[in-house]
Amino acid sequence: MGLDIAKFMLTNTLNISDRLQFLLQELKSQLQELYGDRLFSVLLYGSVARGEATADSDIDVLVVLKGQVLPVQEVRRMADIRLHFLLEFGELVSIMPMSLEEFSDRSASFASKVRREAIAL
């Protein structure tokens, strides 16, 4: 598709704790195992990415997948991963699946917001 993900991402992770970096790498690893070559990118966005998280904040993650994405079906596929992070680490991870085509659409307001604040994992 020719999308250069680096154009949209912040690379500064200085505001992310070592613990959170470990959790995010673990999350990315599990998503790679689940999706294989379909996984295009995993992006941290929201209050954690902006450095505005509080103790009650969840961890917002956008999972960009190649091919067609049926959000409800993909959320179900990722349910065990979300449960693992809640039980093992006490962290609520909100995972939003999106197709690469939708993420590349500059007119999609949600995708545009994520592109502005996201940190690529």
Question: Domain of 73: which CATH number?
Answer: 3.30.460.10
* Range of the structural domain that residue 116 is part of: 5-120
What pLDDT is attached to residue 84?
Answer: 93
Q: How do strand 93-99 and strand 119-120 relate by DSSP bridges? A: unpaired
- pTM for the whole structure: 0.85
Cα separation, 5 vs 104, in Å, equals 9
Who's near 117: CB < 8 A, 6+ residues apart? 10, 45, 46, 49, 50
Q: Which of these, 25, 93, 21, 108, lies nearest to 62 by C-alpha position? A: 93
What pLDDT is attached to residue 30?
Answer: 96
**Ranges of residues in the chain whose predicted pLDDT is under 50:** 1-2, 7-14
Say how many domains are in the chain: 1
What pLDDT is attached to residue 15?
Answer: 58
